[in-house]
Structure 1
Amino acid sequence: AKAIVLDPVDSTAAASLVKLAQSQGIKVIAYDRPIPTAPADFYVSFNNEGIGKAIADSLVEHLKALKVDPASGGVLQINGSPTDAAAGLIKKGIHAGLDNSGYKILAEYDTPEWAPPKAQQWAGGQITRFGPKILGVVAANDGTGGGAIAAFKAAGVDPVPPVTGNDATIAALQLIIAGDQYNTISKPSEIVAAAAANIAIKLLSGETPKAEMTLYDTPSQLFTPAVVTQENLKAEIIDKKINTAAELCVDRYAEGCKKLGIGN
């Protein structure tokens, strides 16, 4: 191997892999998640801090548009895994969006291993604790957001307060179509994957890839993804051929698709 593209679940444990590879002259590209304690040769990703701020800002704007009184309650914040540096960046971005929004954070949780059942269990406890004071949930990805939605449904809360997400999974897009999830982030893997491949080729050719910034002492290229809600789901997902209507508009989601102008 002359180059390794590494997407580490445990950013701290990955440091030893980076050092081992680099000691043998192998170039390491950190993909999707940074490796804070051992600089890779390059880092390429969607802008995780920007994602956190975007989903939080989107939720705040939605609450303000609905004229939801900040004094009537606050929001829950469900972060990703405490071992994942990308989750830390998303968390930082969420705080940037919420901290001066006027909507207080009722409670916050770092979800071990990003596990949806753990997010669901925690959210269930907060629903018991805060009840109707929960005005919305900023969840760091679609799995944790889906866990929160499941907790509201199990508790008989109807309608479910607006819940964010990130990754544009099929399940989350269907929840948005149904009106159960408010937003997600569309991150077509081809964008970052193509960039990682181009960077690998340049490194192997002895060139210096152009960096937009330095993050954790690593030259970095970060892309800004799109926030997806019901309003732009057709334009961002269907029209860009990321998913088809046939994939999304099945069973109980068919009616919601019709309302959004999405047809098979």
Structure 2
Amino acid sequence: MSDPELPPAPAAEPTALRLGFTRGTAPGKWARRWEKAGGRALELVPVEAPFGRGARPTEVDVMLERARAGERPEGSSDPAPTRHAMRLYTEAVSLVVPADHELADASDVSIDDLELVTLLDHPDHFAEWPAPQPWSDPSWMPADVKAALALVATGAGAILLPLPLARHLIDKRQHAVVPVVGDPELAGSTIWATWDLDRDAPDVQQLVGIMRGRTARSSRPAAAHDESARAGSKPAKRTQPKPAAKKAGPKPGSRGAQLAAAKEKAERAKALRRAEKKRKRR
């Protein structure tokens, strides 16, 4: 028999919803919006893998993961998907150079100017990006992004990386990150919210709705089964911040001045060849 004098057992605290996130994303803003919406605690779980969920995925309810250009998160493709996937945004591309490089203080670098630097090949260099310098011995290729950054620090060359990931991984004493600009832009990586099909519960849908920008007054349906790619609709166009005004040009005689002179010389040569072709056609 139970003792009538004992107080009733306290109600169990609801389990925190676990939001996993890959490095270089900003999960804090979702946690703040979740708190404002009156949801229960949101536990943020960092995942070291720069792309995907890693070889041994962490047990989380929802995952913020990065996918390479043109790819979808693992398990979210037909014909037998195991996960829902909602695309959130596309990341810009950056050039990572040594801290003492001539371009280290530049506000941005154009796609055409990438020809003037030695691009090192690494496992996360997208096929859609300008071709890197091939390794004489394939075994010399760095095993991962951190190994590639170590090579950049030695002055061996530069690498291309998603801008948020680069800013998160670099050592500011050894590296500089320069946004790459151009029209058309280089293909960027995409950030997705993914969750298991069997975890499609109201609490997950509430969090997913917050990520989509839904508020408590919204009357939109709860289902969110990748409206961007599977339904064929396009995500809102990502607005790029206006680049800051460029700093003064390179010092005369510096490597930066030599690169600029080489580029100007090449442009003049192209103009002369075009003029010569027009003259011969007359």
Normalised TM-score (structure 1): 0.36
Q: Which one has more relative contact order, counting CA pairs under 8 Å at least 6 apart? A: 2
Normalised TM-score (structure 2): 0.34
Structure having the higher Rg: 2
More helix by share: 1
